[in-house]
Chain A
Amino acid sequence: MKKFTTTLAALVILGSSSLFADGHKVKVGMITTLSGGGSGLGIDVRDGFMLAVKGNKNISVITKDDQRKPDIAVQLADKMIQSDKVDVLTGIIWSNLAMAVVPATVNQGKFYLSPNAGPSKLAGKGCHKNYFNVAWQNDNLHEAAGGYANSAGFKNSFILAPNYPAGKDALTGYKRYFKGSLAGEIYTKLGQKDYAAEIAQIRASGADSVFFFLPGGMGIGFMKQFSQSGIKLPVVGPAFSFDQGILKAVGNAALGVKNTSQWSKDIDNDANKKFVKDFQSEYGRLPSLYASQGYDTGKLLISAMSKAKVKDKDKFRDALRKANFSSTRGKFSFDKNHHPIQDIYVREVIKEGKILTNKIVSVGLKDHSNAYVSECKM
C-alpha cells in the first residue's frame, strides 16, 4: 500500500510537472557571430546569455553562427522559425544583420530580444511590439561621447566610423550632442584595418580631438596606429573599442582613453557583482559589455517567463515590457519604443596590476532614452 501511494504520488508529481513545463518552456534561437572577424563579440554575448539561463530547465537554446553575413543570418532565422519552431530569437551583433532579420521575424509573431544591435530604423518608424532592445539604441553611447566632449572643452572634432547603419547612427549620435564644429567626417570601409590614410587626414585637419566608432578588430588597428603616428590629440569613443575582449590586443595605446558605456565591471550593485564573479569563474576571463548585455537579455527573458506563458503573446509582451529583473546596470526600464532608459557612464582605461580594464569616471547621461521615441507609433 505504501508502495502504491508513493508510486501514485510520483506519478502525480511527474504528470503535473510535465503539464506545467509544457506551457512554460521557451525555445530560444540564438543567431550570433561565432567565427571570423568580430567573433569575440558574439562569443561574449552567447556566454553571457548562457550564464544567465544556466540551470533553467525551461529554456532550451539553439545557437548558430551567422559568420557576420546578412544572407546567412536570414537563412538561419527562417530555419529556426519554420523547422525548429523557436519562440524567441536573439543574439545578433551587427546592425546590418539585424536589419535583415528582425523585421521578418517579428512580423511572423516571434519575439526578438536584441542583445546588441540597435539601429535607428528599428527604434523609430520601424519599431515593433515584438522587438525589444536590451542593450541600447545605437546612438546612445555616441551621444554620451558628444556630451563628454563638450564638458572636456573640445571645440573641433574629427569624427570617423565605418560605412554601415550603426556607423551612421554613431556619427549622428555624436553630432546630436557635440556643440563644437567638425574638423572632418569620414566613413571607412566596414572591416577596414589600416587607417594610415585617415590618420594622415586627421593630422592635416587641425582638429583638437578625435571621436571614433570602430568596433572589434577595426578599433585595435586604429588605436595602435594612432598612438604610433605621434599625434597627441585626445581621443574619445564608445566602449566598443575599449571593451575587455580587445584591450589586451590594443595594449598600452589605450591607456587613459575616455570611453562611454552603459555598463562597467565596477558598477556597484549586487546583480553586477554576482555577474562579474560568476562570469570569471565560469569562463576564466573578465566579462565585456557584450557579455553583460547577453546576461541581461537572459535575465529579462526569465523574468517574463515567470509572469506569463510565451504562447500567450500579449501577456508575455507585457511582462517583457515591465523589465522586472535586476540588471547588471542597476536601474533599467524600457521606453515606449522598447529601447532602454538607462545611465550612460564615462569610463577611463586603467591598469589593474598587469591587466588593462576600465573604471567609471562620471555619469555621462542620466536616465537616457533615445531620440526616436516620438517616431515610433506603437
Chain B
Amino acid sequence: MISILFFEQLLNGIQFGTMLFLMSAGLTLIFGVMGLINLAHGSFYMIGAFSAALIASLTGSFWLALLASLSGAAIAGVLIEIIIIRRLYRRDHLDQVLATFALILLLSEAVRWCFGAFPLYLDIPKNLNGTLPILDDIIYSKYRLFIIFMGLLIATGLYILITKTRLGIRIRAGQNDRQMISALGVDISKLYTIVFALGASLAGLAGAMIGAIQSVEVGMGEPILILAFVVIVIGGIGSIKGAFIGSILVGVTDTIGRIFLPELLKVFMEPASATSVGSSIGSMLIYILMALILIIKPSGLFGKT
C-alpha cells in the first residue's frame, strides 16, 4: 500500500516538475541570453491562462484554448519586449527588478480591468477526464499524464532547438558573448525579441494547462514564479538542462516532502502536532534543498563557474 502511494506521489512530483520546467526554461533562457532578470514572467503565465479561458468560453475547445495561450502570451511578450524590456538590457539588475516588478502590478491590474476579480472557468477536455490504470494497482489522472507528456515533449523540442538549429546556435552564441555575435552581423534585437516571446509563450502554455485544473485568477503567476527562481538557481542560471533537472528535483522534493514528512514525524510525535510541524517543515524543504546545493555548488548544478 505504501509503495503504491509512493509511486503515485512520485508521479505527482514529476508532473509538478514538468510544469515548473515550462516556467523556468523561459526564465533561464531570458536570463542566459539577455542577462535580464524578469520578475514579470509570472504575468505571462497568467496571460496565457486568461487567453485560454477566454477562447475556451467562446469556442468550447480546449485545444484551441491551448493554442490561444501560446499565441496570447507570445504576442504580449513581443509587445512588452519592444515597448519596455528592450530599454532594460543595458541597465543593471536593480533597475530590471524594479521595472519588471512594476510590470507585474500593471499587468495584474490590466487583467483585472478586463476580466474582473473573480476566477474564470477553464476545464479540461472530456477525453482527458478521469483516470488511467498504469501497472496493476496504480491508477493515475489522464490529464496529469498529459501534462507530463507535454512537458517532456517541450523539453525535447527545446533540446533540438538549442543544439540542432541555427536559431539555437545564435542563442548559445548570445549566451557566451553578446558583443561578438552582434559584431558578426546577427540582428541581435530580433534574436532577443524571439527569445523573449519563446519564454513568454512557454509560461503561457503552463498557465493554461495548470489553470484548467486549478483556478484562473489574477495574481496566479506569482507563487509559481518564486518556485521557478528556486529552480533556475538550483539548476544553474542560463542552463536549460539545469532547469529541467532542477524542476524535477524541486517538484519531487516538494511533493514527497509535504506528504511523507508529517507521516514520518508521527512516529515520535503526537499526530496533531506532527501534522502541523511536518507541513511547516515540508514547505521549507525546497529552500533547504536549494541552500544545500548552493553550499556544494555555488553556481548551481549546471551553472558556469
Number of interface residues of B (CB under 8 A): 49
Q: Would you give the 0/1 interface string for A249-288, flagging 1 where the beta carbon is closer than 8 Å to chain B?
A: 1110000000000000000000000000000000000000
Q: Would you give the 0/1 interface string for A34-67, flagging 1 where the beta carbon is closer than 8 Å to chain B?
A: 1111011001000000000000000000000000
Interface positions of A from 173 to 212, Cβ below 8 Å from B: 185-189, 191, 193-194, 196-198, 200-201, 203-204
Q: Chain B nearest CB: distance from A197 CB in Å?
A: 5
Q: Does A186 lie within 8 Å of B119, measured CB to CB? A: no
Closest to B129 in A: A228
Q: Does B214 lie within 8 Å of A197, measured CB to CB? A: no
Q: List residues of chain A with CB within 8 A of the CB of B112.
A: 35, 39
Closest to B212 in A: A224
Interface positions of A from 214 to 232, Cβ below 8 Å from B: 217, 220-221, 224-225, 228-230
Q: Does A200 lie within 8 Å of B117, measured CB to CB? A: no
Q: Does B258 lie within 8 Å of A189, measured CB to CB? A: yes
Q: List residues of chain A with CB within 8 A of the CB of B213.
A: 194, 221, 224-225, 228
Residues A189 and B121 in contact in the complex (CB < 8 Å), given A196-B255, A221-B213, A229-B131: no
Q: Chain B nearest CB: distance from A191 CB in Å?
A: 6
Interface positions of A from 136 to 194, Cβ below 8 Å from B: 163, 168, 185-189, 191, 193-194
A102 within 8 A of B: no
B217 within 8 A of A: yes
B7-15, B88-96, B174-182: which lies at the interface:
B7-15
Q: Chain B nearest CB: distance from A116 CB in Å?
A: 16
> Which of these, A35, A220, A230, A250, contacts B219 with CB under 8 Å?
A35
Q: Does A187 lie within 8 Å of B12, measured CB to CB? A: no
Q: Does A220 lie within 8 Å of B119, measured CB to CB? A: yes
B21 within 8 A of A: no
Q: Would you give the 0/1 interface string for A115-139, flagging 1 where the beta carbon is closer than 8 Å to chain B?
A: 0000000000000000000000000
> Which of these, B143, B218, B283, contacts A36 with CB under 8 Å?
B218
B275 within 8 A of A: yes
Docked CA distance A163–B141 (Å): 26
> Which of these, B12, B121, B143, B258, contacts A249 with CB under 8 Å?
B121
Q: List residues of chain A with CB within 8 A of the CB of B158.
A: none
Q: Does B276 lie within 8 Å of A187, measured CB to CB? A: yes
Q: Does A201 lie within 8 Å of B5, measured CB to CB? A: yes
Q: Chain A nearest CB: distance from B263 CB in Å?
A: 9
Q: List residues of chain B with CB within 8 A of the CB of A248.
A: 118-121
A245 within 8 A of B: yes
Q: Does B119 lie within 8 Å of A251, measured CB to CB? A: no
Docked CA distance A194–B15 (Å): 11
A304 within 8 A of B: no
A246 within 8 A of B: yes
Q: Does B219 lie within 8 Å of A197, measured CB to CB? A: no
Q: List residues of chain B with CB within 8 A of the CB of A198.
A: 259
Q: Does B218 lie within 8 Å of A197, measured CB to CB? A: no
Q: Does A40 lie within 8 Å of B118, measured CB to CB? A: yes
Can you list 5 residue pairs at the A/B interface with Cβ under 8 Å? A35-B218, A187-B275, A194-B214, A217-B119, A248-B118
Can you add 12 more A-B contacts, CB < 8 Å, to A246-B119, A249-B121? Answer: A36-B219, A189-B258, A189-B279, A194-B210, A194-B214, A204-B4, A217-B119, A217-B215, A217-B220, A224-B213, A246-B215, A248-B119
